Every structure is written in C-alpha cells, then in structure tokens.
Homo-oligomer: A and B are copies of this chain.
Amino acid sequence: MSEYSHSDGARRPLIYNAFAHVTPNHHSHGFWRHPEGQHQLDFHKLGPWIELAKTAERGCFDVVFLADVAGLYETSSGQWQQAARTGMQFPSHDPAALVSALAAATNDIGFAVTSSVIQEHPFSFARKLSTLDHLSEGRVAWNIVTSYLDNTARNYGFDKLPPHDERYVWGEEYAEVAYKLWEASWEDGAWVADAARDTLVDPARLHAIDHVGARYRVAGPHLVRTSPQRTPVLFQAGSSEAGRDFAARHAEVTFLPSRTPESAANDLADLRRRAVAAGRHAEDIRAIVMLSPVIGSTEAEAKARRAEILDSFSLDALAVFWSGGIGVDLTTIDPATPLTELREQNGTRGSVRAFIDAAPQGVVTFGDALRKTISAQFAGTPEQIADEVERWAAAGVAGFNVVPVTTLGWWSEFVDHVVPVLQKRGLMQREYAPGTLREKLFRDGPHLPDRHPARRLRPWAGKQAAALSASLA
C-alpha cells in the first residue's frame, strides 16, 4: 500500500519521536562501557545533540523528545550511590537549555521538553516555553510529568513525593496557570505596534490572569507576546486511573506502556472514552508506543547483535532502574538467584513479587528477568521492523517514541536503513507539512481546538466572537 490511514479515518502520517535524555545512560543501561558506547559520555556537549537533531530531521522524524528526571534513582531512602556509580540516568542535565541551539540548527523538526510540575514555577515555565515557541517558530511541545522519584522531591523542599493522586491535582492547577498565560492573557490582535498612537500593545486586549488556587497565586499578564502555537503541543503519559483522566483531559498525544497491539487498542479506546467524557472529541487524543528495534541486514545478524548488546548491559544499573521505579532495593539480589527460590522467600515484598511475576514464561533467574525488561526486545531487518510498525498502526496507534537501542550513533543507522523502507510502505512521512509543530503533526492548528480545557479559559473569546458578529452584521 502507498498510503496509511489512522483508525479515525483521517489520512495523517504516523508520528515518530526521537526519544532521548541528556544523560549518558537513558535506556541502554551500562552501554557506555562498550567501545561503541563511549561517545555517550559526550552527552554534556552541544555537538552530539545538534548531530542528533539534524539526523532525525534528515529522517523526517517529527520531534526530538527530551525525557528528564530531576533527581536520582534510589535503592532505598536517600541511597542514590548505586545510581551515581552505574550512571543510571545520572548525570541528568537540563533538557530545555538545549532547545534554542537545536532549533537554530534545524528547520522543521519539533522539540518536546519534559518538565515536572515540581521543578519550576508555572509563571517561569510558561514564559520559557513561549520564548522557545518564538525562537523555534512554533516547534515546541511540553511533556507534562508529575515526578516519581523521592530524591526529586527532596531537591525541592519535600520529605518525599506528595501522594500520587495529589500530584495530579497539582498538575491540574499547574496546567491551568500555564493555559491562562498562554491562552487567556493576550487576545488575538493585542500586538498593534501603532507608532502614531505610541501603542505597541493594546492594553484593552491584554489581561491579568489573577489566578488564585491551592498552590499558586499568579497575577500576569503573560510577559511573552502571543507565540505561534500559544499552548505548545501537549504530550503526557499516565497509566494509573488519575493519570489516564489527566491525559484524557489534557494530552494531544499520550504515551502508552502497552506491550501488545491488542492492549494498546484497548488502552486507546479507554482514553478516548475518558476524553469524550471530558468534553473533547475522541480523535483529539492520540496514542504512541515505544519502538526500539535492533537493526540487522538479516534476521540472524540482528538477533546476534541483540544478544551481544544485551550482554554488554549492566545488570546493576538495571536493578537500580527498577529499584527507583518500585521503591524496593533490588540491587541486593544476586542475579543468578532462580525466580522459584525468590518466590519462596518469606521476605519477598509485594512489589518485588509483582516484578518477578511480570517476567515472561521460561525466564529462570532474576538476572534474566531484569534483562527481559530492556527496551530492545525486537530485532530484525528493516522490512521486519516495518511489519512490526504496521501491526501497531493497525491497532490504531498514531506513532512511536523511537528509543535508541544503544547510542546516539544508532540514529543514523535507523535513518539510513529503516526510514526508507517505512517511507516506501507509506508508514512514515517523506517530507514535512508546512506550519507549526501542531500543524505538522495533526494537520490542524496552529492552536488547540476550542473544546480543549485550555481554550475554555479564555474569558475574552466570547466577547471577541460577539464583536466579530456585530461587525459583520
């Protein structure tokens, strides 16, 4: 087939994000020790990031998606030493600081900035993203997160993270403040630049937001003139009940943790039901999944390569990753321990038990269970990777967070060998659409649709529509 349709019937290309993190060790835990992985240690420099952005743009990727954590993974409370030692998502540099340089080096690709509600005041955050939306000519997205590491919380004055659902309540207010600044402060046409009247901005069309909420009081007006997209494109990933409701209310694209196309289809249907219940249209929310293939010119080569790569991963780092995620120290368990033995231990606590039980059938040792969590579960030729993409797309997913199996150098391999096959089969765009990132991604925009909660915060929208009607009458 030469074209590809979304399940909602619209003919838009699948979305591909180049998923990255300003750290030596995003999901390729310990691969910095491999000779091929040495250049990951240059993560702190500008050069490799400009190269990544240019390579991804050469491959018609939609977005450089910058993940982030604002703290260290801990094996138990206050114990971040193992994460430091193995370099497990540490160091973790500020992703937003990269964006203007990457925008200057590219023309079309977008930039998603991950930022937690805990790490920056919404007035400063909204100002920064609007500034970047100008500098990039409308190519900025926000990945809204609410943090999951206690060390992050302790960097910002808390003893530990606020409870999960409370963080989403916080997220609601945070987004509301940002929306008010982006959408409600500057009316369309407030910028007049009328020299004769000594009027740069029409004060009658500029508004304080006077937000008063549980956590924030923010006067406004927004300090940045209306940017191309107003609200940046909104990404979000939430799998809990509260997280799904939040995604359904806010996200334009949500990241699903689904392991099979079937479960992705179910998860997407659930999200869309929630979105409709929140006053949006079902197709206002799109779902993407992870794609992290090992590439070979034959299947055998790909599989051999995958085995070699996985062997070079650090089990210690993997154990730290999961310890930080589930809140129990897994680094003390010998990787050679059989799962049967672990299951029988009285001391095995709930979340460790859940981790063990999640291991696929046939896994014998704890170390193998860890290895099975590595992103790169799929290995194949470019044609086989395209088949895999097609299976997911048939289930209704709108695209992929493409995670490099190993290093930054992996990107040119993907772009040179996989992208042409995807393009030939109509599974990936061959060129960029014009306009802002929102227009490129959704063939809609540049602003959020009026049914999005951000747009419903505009007190002046009704007034403006009335004035327009009156002027046409």
Nearest residue (CB) in B for A222 is B91
Given known A44-B134, A131-B93, contact A219–B99 (CB-CB < 8 A): no
User: Of B201, B220, B227, which one neighbours A85 at CB under 8 angstroms?
Assistant: B201
CB neighbours of A220 from chain B (8 A): 155
Which residues of chain A from 189 to 213 have any CB-CB distance to chain B below 8 Å in the complex? 193, 195, 198-203, 206, 208
Does A124 belong to the interface (CB within 8 Å)? yes
* Docked complex Cα distance between A392 and B81 (Å): 53
- Distance to closest chain B CB from A147 (angstroms): 12
* Complex CA–CA separation, A134 to B316 (angstroms): 28
A229 at the interface (CB under 8 A from B): no
Binds B, one of A115-123, A247-255, A290-298, A427-435: A115-123
Query: In the assembly, what is the distance between CA of A67 and CA of B154, in Å?
Result: 31
Asked if A98 is an interface residue, CB under 8 A from chain B, the answer is yes
Distance between Cα atoms of A271 and B216 in the complex (Å): 39
Bound complex: CA of A103 vs CA of B223, how far in Å? Answer: 24
User: Assembly of this chain: how many copies?
Assistant: 2
Q: Which residues of B contact A24 (CB under 8 A)?
A: 200
Given contacts A100-B100, A155-B218, A217-B157, A124 and B119 within 8 Å (CB-CB): yes
Give A81-140 interface residues, CB cut-off 8 Å to B.
Answer: 81-82, 84-87, 90-94, 96-105, 119-121, 123-124, 127-128, 130-132, 134-137
Does B203 contact A91, Cβ atoms closer than 8 Å?
no
Known contacts A103-B101, A316-B198: A128-B94 contact under CB 8 Å = yes
Chain B proximity mask over A58-84: 1 for CB below 8 Å, otherwise 0: 000000000000111000001011101
CB <8 Å contact, B45 and A134: yes
Question: Is A33 located at the chain interface by the 8 A CB criterion?
Answer: yes
C-alpha spacing A151/B208, complex, angstroms: 10
The reply on A46 being an interface residue by CB < 8 A is yes
Given contacts A97-B131, A103-B101, A135-B101, contact A124 B70 (CB under 8 A): yes
19 A-B contact pairs sorted by A residue (CB < 8 Å):
A32-B193, A45-B135, A46-B136, A70-B124, A70-B127, A78-B208, A81-B206, A84-B206, A86-B199, A86-B200, A93-B134, A93-B223, A94-B132, A98-B135, A123-B156, A155-B220, A198-B314, A198-B316, A198-B317
